[in-house]
Structure 1
Amino acid sequence: MKNNISQYSIELNKFVIDNNNYDTTTNYNNNYNDNNYDNNYINRTTKENNDFYYKKRNDNINNLGETNNVLFLCYDETNDDCTTCDKYRKNYMSNMQISNNIDINKLNDLNDYFFILGSTSTSRKYILKKSNLNFLSIRIHIDEKKIGCRKKNDPFTLTSNISVAKGLKLLSMIKKDSQLKEQIFELAQKKKIILLVGDEVIYCNNKIYEKPTNQKEATDFLKSYNNNKCFSYSSITLIDYETEKIVTGIDESVINIYDMNDNIIKNILEDSSIYFCAGALKIENIYMHKHINVIKGNIDSIFGLSINLLFHLLTIL
């Protein structure tokens, strides 16, 4: 496993070094920065209790007790008991069926899709590029702290709500910006346009870890991982641009970390990019990856975009 992480680390670091002009030199992978939008669209669709919901749409994610259509991929559904997963499936997945065997040939040719990635994350762009998918990367600004409830420490609902909020913000941006819309149609070349956004939270010691806001928080996160296991919950929301149909899913991975002492943590903290990672968990960090014992699940999910989950969601969109 450590060799796999190291290989991903080398490839990602090479990607960062060799592709500084990536967005201007590679077809379809241009960046569009959202500097003119605020969170009004999201705020208008937020209830007083701060639970996010869909405005004038069929809900994919509803409050507990209501029908919920969030696809959940557990890292090991049959061989490893997980009370958190069991509780989630009981409360949220009563009407959702997972296809255990994806027949990629049954999907529409992936070359027929054009993805609008609501992120400028290097790792997400890298994963799409390595998967030979056509996409346009757009930066969206959204205050994640205003979305969802954190009191219940429910990582599934939180990451789903944030992901959906990003998707609706992206859809609103495109609808309002005729120049952006024209650019998208020109790049898509009559391909099916799919909006793609994601979010990730880390769950450890019955607490949700988001991006650290300061060094102390990052330090506390990292110390809590030592000789422990943490869960990565990476959500994806897809929106069909034409029909505005929304599907959302969550991919779970489990990371076991060992012998990561204070000196190692100090070295990790020198990497400023950890502040852009949920839970300050950057598994490709040259110091951290040496102390990861086991990863159960999809490594690309921990990087922020599970291709496995993406394929599943496309089959039900």
Structure 2
Amino acid sequence: MPFLSPDIQTATIAIEYHHKLAAFFRSKPRIILGSSSIARKQIMDELAVEHRFTYEVKTADINEKAIRDPSPDKLVSLLARAKKDAIIQKMKDEGEEMRGFLITCDQVVAHEDRILEKPCSIDEVHEYIEGYSRSPASTVGAVLVTDLLSGREVEEVERAFVHMKPVPPEVQDKLIAEGTVFYCAGGLMIEHPLMEPHIERMDGSICSVMGLPKHVVLRLMVEAAGM
């Protein structure tokens, strides 16, 4: 085999991946997003337009507080798997055909040696947001894709970092009044127009910070299909 430079090898791998991705979508797969997150649905809507596919939404309805682990990476993985198990059981109970690619996710914010989940009170919202001006917040997100027909599972945990300026109290109060902040891990809403002016920079993609990295979802679906 002739020697290929690293650049050529990388380009070859990228071309092969895009061929696999195109073949995956040509097969018209059933795709299920196992999440009630508005942000994740927004990202999936964008992916659906970009790659011309449709998808369904199913929710797990689990007690996330009952699943604990001191490691943020392990915690999000456990929660993504618990959601997968709950949705599969619900589908079986309802007599649904077990086929398609189920995407389940979870995300927490790691900050100053603490795991921050969805804030439970107004005080927690203030505490979390004010803390982000002291040191960067790290979003830790797991994406699990399961081929319901074969049972094949592939998973990835990805981190991103958000560096923020101080957020004025009146901005925090507006976010609290809207209420959506209580449904976001760590109360971190980088996509919100009120928050955007206070973000210095992000190390990682915005879709990763929002809980559903596009590049990971696409690659894991291809891998789950055994391609």
Coarse TM-score class (shorter-chain normalised): 0.7 to 0.9
SS in 2 for 1:231: strand
Question: Contact 1:164/1:248 (CA < 8 Å) preserved in 2?
Answer: no
What TM-score does the superposition give when structure 1 sets the normalisation length?
Answer: 0.61
Question: Contact 2:36/2:57 (CA < 8 Å) preserved in 1?
Answer: yes
- Structure 2 distance, partners of 1:302, 1:210, is 14
Structure 2 residue 89 is matched with structure 1 residue 162 = no
Structure 2 residue 224 is matched with structure 1 residue 314 = no
Task: Tell me which residue corresponds to 1:258.
Answer: 165
Runs of 4 or more consecutive aligned structure 1 residues displaced over 6 Å after TM superposition: none
- Correspondence 1:41-190 to 2 at 5 A: 101=14, 103-107=17-21, 108-111=23-26, 112-132=28-48, 133-149=53-69, 152=70, 154-178=71-95, 181=96
What TM-score does the superposition give when structure 2 sets the normalisation length?
Answer: 0.83
Question: Contact 2:104/2:143 (CA < 8 Å) preserved in 1?
Answer: yes
Q: Displacement of 1:227 after TM fit?
A: 4.1
- Partner letter of residue 63 of structure 2? D
SS in 2 for 1:237: strand
Report percent identity of matched pairs: 23
Task: Tell me which residue corresponds to 2:148.
Answer: 241
Q: Displacement of 1:123 after TM fit?
A: 2.0
Deviations 1:244-265 (A, max 9, x none): 2222211211100013233332
Task: Tell me which residue corresponds to 2:5.
Answer: none
- Structure 2 distance, partners of 1:163, 1:175, is 19
- Structure 1 distance, partners of 2:160, 2:212, is 12
- Structure 2 distance, partners of 1:101, 1:253, is 23
SS in 2 for 1:235: strand
Task: Tell me which residue corresponds to 1:94.
Answer: none
Deviations 1:269-314 (A, max 9, x none): 2220010000011112222111001011111122221111112322
Deviations 1:200-250 (A, max 9, x none): 100111111000111111111111111421111121111111112222211
Please point out which of 205, 209, 224 is paired with 2:131.
224
- Correspondence 1:194-205 to 2 at 5 A: 194-205=101-112
Question: Contact 1:226/1:261 (CA < 8 Å) preserved in 2?
Answer: no
SS in 1 for 2:36: coil
- Structure 2 distance, partners of 1:110, 1:311, is 10
CA RMSD of aligned residues (A): 1.9
SS in 1 for 2:30: strand
Taking a change above 3 Å as real, the CA distance of residues 146 and 101 of structure 1, as seen in their structure-2 partners, is farther
- Structure 2 distance, partners of 1:101, 1:155, is 31
- Structure 1 distance, partners of 2:93, 2:68, is 25
Taking a change above 3 Å as real, the CA distance of residues 146 and 308 of structure 1, as seen in their structure-2 partners, is same
Give the count of matched residue pairs: 205
